[in-house]
Amino acid sequence: MQIQGHSALVTGGASGLGEAVARALAAAGAKVAVLDVNQAAAERVAADIGGLACACDITDTASVQAALDAATARHGVPRIVMNIAGIGTAKRVVGKDGQPAPLEDFERVVRINLIGTYNVIRLAAARLAAEAPLDDGERGMMLCTASVAAYDGQVGQEAYSASKGGIVGMTLPLARDLAQWGIRVVTIAPGLFLTPLMKQLPEPVQQSLAASIPFPKRLGHPEEFASLALEAVRNTHLNGEVIRLDGALRMAPR
């Protein structure tokens, strides 16, 4: 599917990987809606790219519907849906104090990363299914964001790994389910990327993490993630697949 002129929606589009994707889509000619819980940051990115900023909590159906309404009114029903929003956390099952990890912490990560992603997909897909197909029969494309932690999660990453493993697990059935409507689903599982969260770590820690990557021995650039995301949109035969983008990294236990 060509990107030029189509309506696109990016969750988590106000920073990090999501911001890079939003900027790349706009540069390729898409009409972009930037969705994020941080409205001020979303407005900053949207102003830069000539897009639309929408404050949105992906776990809340009314919030997602409102964002879809706004994006559709401005740009038309989104044919490109980029699910980038998510949170990361690490907490051992049993803490140093001998107490079990709070169940609420686990639930929050799964609710945002996994349930939130599914929530956006189901609501956006229902609208897209009602649209006329493009010349090749395709109606649109949806991208999900997993993580290498889905495969080799580290100590304390139970919640994060479970949430991202869920995204990996639902990619193929989503693609099969939505195939009847000509809607593709692809997932990227990134490794260690130089996001704002990573930049908060001390420089020696960043260098140590980069050294663990076989090649190239550096943290990934958000623009590299965005490049793959746009290729997934353009390559119509790419469907139901999870692609690791990690420089051949396999995470150590800790």
Query: Encoding tokens for residue 60?
Result: 């809340």
**Tokens 């309404």 — which residue?**
69
Is the distance from CB of 38 to CB of 14 less than 8 angstroms? yes
CA-closest candidate to residue 144, choices 125, 126, 127: 125
Q: Which token pair is 33?
A: 């809606």
Could you tell me where the DSSP H helices lie in the chain? 16-27, 39-49, 61-75, 103-110, 116-129, 149-152, 158-178, 196-199, 203-211, 222-234
Question: CA-CA distance, 30 to 56, in Å (whole number)?
Answer: 20
Instruction: Examine the residue annotation and report whether 118 is marked as an active-site residue of this protein.
Output: no
Query: Choosing from 160, 181, 193, 225, which is the catalytic residue?
Result: 160
Residues 77, 70: Cα–Cα separation, whole Å? 10
| Residues forming a β-bridge with 186 | 143
Q: Are 254 and 221 in contact (CB under 8 A)?
A: no
* Amino acid sitting at position 88: G
Q: Show the tokens assigned to 48.
A: 């830069």
Residues labelled catalytic: 160
